[in-house]
Structure 1
Amino acid sequence: MTSPVLYHAAEGVATITLNRPDVLNALNSALLLELRAAVERAAQDEAVRAVVLSANGRGFCAGADLAGRGTGLQDSGTLLRERYHPIILALRNMPKPVITSVNGVAAGAGMSLALAGDVVLAGRSASFLQAFSKIGLVPDAGSTYFLPRYAGEMRARALAILAEKIDAEEAHRIGLVWKVHEDEALPAETARLAAHLAQMPTFAYGLIKEALNASLQSDLPAQLEREATLQSRASKSEDVKEGVAAFLEKRKPAFKGR
């Protein structure tokens, strides 16, 4: 039986691939369980310094597999808490950078999953859809958190309420996507960026994520203190010593990620 999630780690990059292409990588329990395990594996592997979340087939993720659940939505809140939330939190709290590489449609919770990355890349034919209201549901898996912060409150409300599909260029224009690449170039561009990140100061990246995750819930004095605390930790790392030495010696640094 083919695994719904593939995992490959090499040269400091862990690539996690959604692998239910026949249903546009719709999220069922088996996929969610394996995805959580893969994300946690990448987080715990000290050799991994960058993570890529991608998908096989012609779509990134069509959202929850409603066909597999029928009309039994009474326990959607429990399902979210037990299956979805741990994945989103693990991606956001991952102490290393996460690239989401979006090919084709990212709808519903699939869009939430895409937005959970630190850097979102998209193919030219990618599309994004907050499909929830079309079937009487509320955006979930982090969408109501990510959308106002990335696109602004007015756009977030319109995307959630109108449930209109937007293309990659529009997603880029309103701040949901970092860069758009031609479809055929997306895998190579994703791999190039991941390889670059895997050579950079991973420990500092983890601290940067920690600071940014807390920033929108903090006032300025609290955030200034957080920056100082994190900077103190960063300044004691091996990577800082190497970075300063390389700067003074006018050479490329060889970061170790610690």
Structure 2
Amino acid sequence: MLNEAIRVDLDAASQVATVTLHRPDKLNSFTRAMHAELRAALDNIESSGARALILTGAGRGFCAGQDLADLSFEPGAMTDLGALIDENFNPLVRRLQNLPLPVIAAVNGIAAGAGANLALACDITLAARSSSFVQSFVKIGLIPDSGGTALLPQRIGMARALGLALTGDKLSAEDAERWGLIWQVVDDQQLTETATRLASRLAQQPTRAIAAIKRAMRASTTQTLDRQLDLERDLQRELGASRDYAEGVAAFIEKRAPRFEGR
């Protein structure tokens, strides 16, 4: 499917969907129209039966965040950034985190501002060796948004999170991997192949269990151990009555590869 700023490819055989942010001349920075296209694309992907999603960018960058040219700076008519975030970036981050399928970010080139945090909002973040991450907000008098103030300290600790946010310095992909900000660095020419191979592997897994793992892991950052134990119990009860659980046990006993259906 080809839209103005979003390209979607669904491989029927592997059940892997690839969403490409496609404004390469603008480093794939977001406009309101692009947000609307991406929301529609994610709706279509979820209803299509896809079992894994890759998010990447066209050209020499993953995403440079918000396109400032799409905002108003006229006196008395300044764009309300709170409304912009509430209507676009926050729903996108929540949607990616709550999609009932694994989401892989394949970061090519620069990931800056909200673009960096969009990559971190995905379940697994891969990065090309030449890519980099920049919390560029402070350079224009803003704070990290799109989940940045939560995702950064959760992944790399407060000292490094504050350092990145306060300086706006560029972090290389190799340092991002070393710090635990991302899952893996791969050579540039291997990024697409690695992301596709990983997505295909995850698409064959029990995706209902994957959705529950996403929910449980993220809940653990905001609630007590007692509540987390209760959530684990409840999710395990649901999964223990699923077809995939029965198939996984049968395959283990029969010493064969399981055939999961996501049910």
Q: Write the letter of the residue equivalent to 1:33.
A: A
Residue matched to 1:231: 236
Does the aligned pair in 2 maintain the 1:39–1:87 contact within 8 Å? no
Q: Which whole-Å deviations, capped at 9, do the CAs of 1:180-208 have from their partners, x for residues lacking one?
A: 00000000000000110111100000111
Residue matched to 1:119: 124
Residue matched to 2:157: 152
Residue matched to 1:38: 41
Residue matched to 2:65: 63
1:95-244 map, 5 Å: 95-244=100-249
Residue matched to 2:22: 19
Question: Which stretch of structure 1 is more off in the superposition, 30-39 or 127-136?
Answer: 30-39
Does the aligned pair in 1 maintain the 2:114–2:146 contact within 8 Å? yes
Q: Distance in 1 between matches of 2:180 and 2:46?
A: 27
Shift of 1:85: 1.0
Does the aligned pair in 2 maintain the 1:121–1:180 contact within 8 Å? yes
Shift of 1:43: 2.7
Shift of 1:212: 1.1
Q: Distance in 1 between matches of 2:127 and 2:192?
A: 10
* 2:105 aligned counterpart, secondary structure: strand
Q: Distance in 2 between matches of 1:154 and 1:123?
A: 25
Gaps of 5+ in 1: none
Quote the RMSD (CA, aligned, Å).
1.3
Q: Which whole-Å deviations, capped at 9, do the CAs of 1:96-139 have from their partners, x for residues lacking one?
A: 11000000000000001100110000000010000000010111
* 2:60 aligned counterpart, secondary structure: coil
Does the aligned pair in 1 maintain the 2:16–2:51 contact within 8 Å? yes
Shift of 1:172: 0.5
Does the aligned pair in 2 maintain the 1:99–1:120 contact within 8 Å? yes
* 2:63 aligned counterpart, secondary structure: coil
Does the aligned pair in 1 maintain the 2:127–2:185 contact within 8 Å? yes
Does the aligned pair in 1 maintain the 2:71–2:79 contact within 8 Å? no
TM-score normalised to structure 2 length: 0.95
* 1:180 aligned counterpart, secondary structure: strand
Q: Distance in 2 between matches of 1:17 and 1:170?
A: 25
Q: Which whole-Å deviations, capped at 9, do the CAs of 1:12-62 have from their partners, x for residues lacking one?
A: 1111110000111011111111112222322333x2111110111010001
Q: Distance in 1 between matches of 2:204 and 2:51?
A: 8
Q: Distance in 2 between matches of 1:74 and 1:58?
A: 28
Residue matched to 1:5: 6
Gaps of 5+ in 2: none
TM-score normalised to structure 1 length: 0.97
Q: Distance in 1 between matches of 2:40 and 2:114?
A: 18
| Identity among equivalent pairs (%) | 47
